[in-house]
Amino acid sequence: MVKIGLQIRATLENVEEVETCHPDYSFFLKLKCTNCGEQSEKWHDLTESERVNEDSRNPNGFNFFMKCKLCSRENSIDIVEKSNVVYTADDSGKFKTIVSFDCRGVEPMEFSPRTGWIVKSAENGQKFEDVDLSEDDWVEYDTKNKVSVGIYEFESNFVKLKK
């Protein structure tokens, strides 16, 4: 089992917090089988509140399960409990690990941020739900504080974490 962290970096404008800290956020990942090297072009989603492939061997199931098309190995991923953290204004411009995955037989290669992000404006401003970061940039107007808020130059990568 390998523990892999998803890191994000973005430039925040008048934004205090950006987060996926709710169990219904779906992480869209491209994956590689570490047994045979098969890397599919398909996006797979994994959601903390969802468990799949519950059977007698794994009564609790997994957040994600797939059988490799090429080598038939059974691979799975779980989101590490309580590893999902907030990206704050202090992190702006820097990479930060926002969630960790327990990976068995498979490793994430690419992340697609998509929808479901929660954004809180600075100075106790407006809260935006279900923000879409699929364009890697997001701009809105905070009607409470009367300022524009934005997330720019969104980037992500993966790091192997020590146990």
Nearest-approach distance from CB 4 to Zn ion, in angstroms = 17
Name which of 11 and 35 has its Cβ closer to Zn ion: 35
HSE value, Cβ hemisphere, 13 Å, CA-based, for 8? 28
**Residues facing residue 69 across a β-bridge:** none
Looking at the Cβ atoms of 36 and 89, the one nearer to Zn ion is: 36
Please, what is the minimum distance in Å from the beta carbon of residue 121 to Zn ion?
45
Considering the complex, what minimum distance in angstroms separates the CB of residue 112 from Zn ion? 22
Work out how close the CB of 35 gets to Zn ion at its nearest, in angstroms, rounded to a whole number: 5
Closest CB to Zn ion among residues 34, 47: 34
What residue type is assigned to position 43 of the chain?
W
Nearer to Zn ion, 43 or 141 (CB): 43
Closest CB 160 distance from Zn ion, rounded Å: 19
d(CA 85, CA 79): 12
Specify whether the backbone of 137 is left (phi greater than 0), alpha (psi in -120 to 50) or beta.
beta
Strand partners, 101: 4, 79
Contact 9, 108 (CB under 8 A): no
CB nearer Zn ion, residue 32 or residue 120: 32
CA 136 – CA 68 distance, rounded (Å): 30
Binding site for Zn ion (CB under 5 A): 33, 35-36, 38, 68, 70-71
107 neighbors 2 (Cβ within 8 angstroms): yes
